[in-house]
Amino acid sequence: MMAALALLPLIAQLAHQPFWLDLATRLVILAMAAASLNIILGLGGLVSFGHAAFLGIGAYAVGIPVHHSIYGGASWLASDNGLFHFALAVGAGALFALVTGALSLRTKGVHFIMITMAFGQMIYYLLESLETYGGNDGLTLDVRSALPGIDLDNPAQLYWLAFVILAGVLVMTWRLRDARFGLALAGARENARRMAALGHDVTRIRLAAYVLAGAICALAGALMANSTAFITPAMTSWPRSGELMFMVILGGAGRILGPVLGAGLFVLLEEALSSFTTYWHLPFGLLLILAALWQAGVFTTRSGGART
């Protein structure tokens, strides 16, 4: 699967189907976001329903500096330097995860789902209120992030960059799953009370996963901004978070390549349904909500502590 993805720009070019490359870029970036969610949802068993907020944070970490570099103002922030954009995305994503994670990880089960969703919506309304950056209408990226040696205006190069980062994220997930961190996360997922009795600081372990996932997802958001060259607050709304959950669950929560499979199915389904009917959002939304509810149900029986 990864090999096919690696060769995709060549295939698209040979087949004269540049549209395939667009789809594949979307797939790879969504897979990266889903892979980050897989760390908390799959490995950690925590149903976070606000993950799309990090996509938005990463996207605006590109959009806002670019906006100022062209239209002036906020000179401390104005920049078209991609390294700055990506660092800002990762930093802001990690910071937002640290603060909101520290608060939401005090709660459990359905409460955790609700509070993470609330924090996600908070970002949505915050971005919507920023009139300078287009408010509800969003922001067009007049230039893409400038990187040394890579031209993001070239779709194939953008694709390669996203693909390499995705591969890195997957390798990292694979390594950390089998390392101390993954074992501790799994232990906390199975039985947090027992973990504490053993001497593990469960909240700290989960917070570390939350921050890592937030940073990775924000990076995916920064790539997404470069890919679409247009960003809106809607990227962060709760249905987008639901879609990320859907991808993780569909691909198999906790499986290393699951997010890629899930994102692939998602992108194909999205294409198929939208070609059938312009009202594809409705059946699609219903599907997503069903998947989310299913996972929430599994979560509550898993953490209900009724096991002996």
- Angle value at C-alpha 234, between 284 and 17, nearest 5 degrees: 65
Least distance in angstroms from the C-beta of 204 to other proteins: 8
Least distance in angstroms from the C-beta of 292 to other proteins: 23
Least distance in angstroms from the C-beta of 196 to other proteins: 4
The answer to whether the beta carbons of residues 39 and 173 sit under 8 Å apart is yes
The answer to whether the beta carbons of residues 156 and 165 sit under 8 Å apart is no
* DSSP classification of residue 139: E
Least distance in angstroms from the C-beta of 179 to other proteins: 5
- Which one, 131 or 178, has the nearer CB to other proteins? 178
DSSP three-state, residue 146: strand
Two structure tokens written together for 45: 């068993």
Radius of gyration of the chain from its Cα atoms, rounded to whole angstroms: 19
- Which one, 94 or 267, has the nearer CB to other proteins? 94
DSSP three-state, residue 150: strand
Q: Which residue has the tokens 């199975």?
A: 190
Estimate to the nearest angstrom the gap between the alpha carbon of 91 and the chain centroid.
15
- Which one, 58 or 254, has the nearer CB to other proteins? 254
- Which one, 72 or 304, has the nearer CB to other proteins? 304
- Which one, 16 or 307, has the nearer CB to other proteins? 307
> Cα(265)–Cα(258) distance, rounded to whole angstroms?
11
Least distance in angstroms from the C-beta of 252 to other proteins: 15
Least distance in angstroms from the C-beta of 33 to other proteins: 20
DSSP three-state, residue 140: strand
- Which one, 200 or 281, has the nearer CB to other proteins? 200
Least distance in angstroms from the C-beta of 185 to other proteins: 9
- Which one, 158 or 212, has the nearer CB to other proteins? 212
143 φ/ψ angles, rounded to the nearest 5 degrees? -135, 155
Residues 6+ away with beta carbon under 8 Å from 193: 305
Residues 6+ away with beta carbon under 8 Å from 266: 30, 243, 246, 247, 250
Distances 9 to 29, 72, 220, 243, 275 between C-alpha atoms, Å: 15, 36, 19, 26, 23
Least distance in angstroms from the C-beta of 31 to other proteins: 20
The answer to whether the beta carbons of residues 157 and 151 sit under 8 Å apart is yes
> Cα(83)–Cα(88) distance, rounded to whole angstroms?
8
Site residues, other proteins (CB under 8 A) = 172, 175-176, 178-184, 186-187, 190-191, 193-202, 205, 208, 307-308
- Which one, 78 or 195, has the nearer CB to other proteins? 195
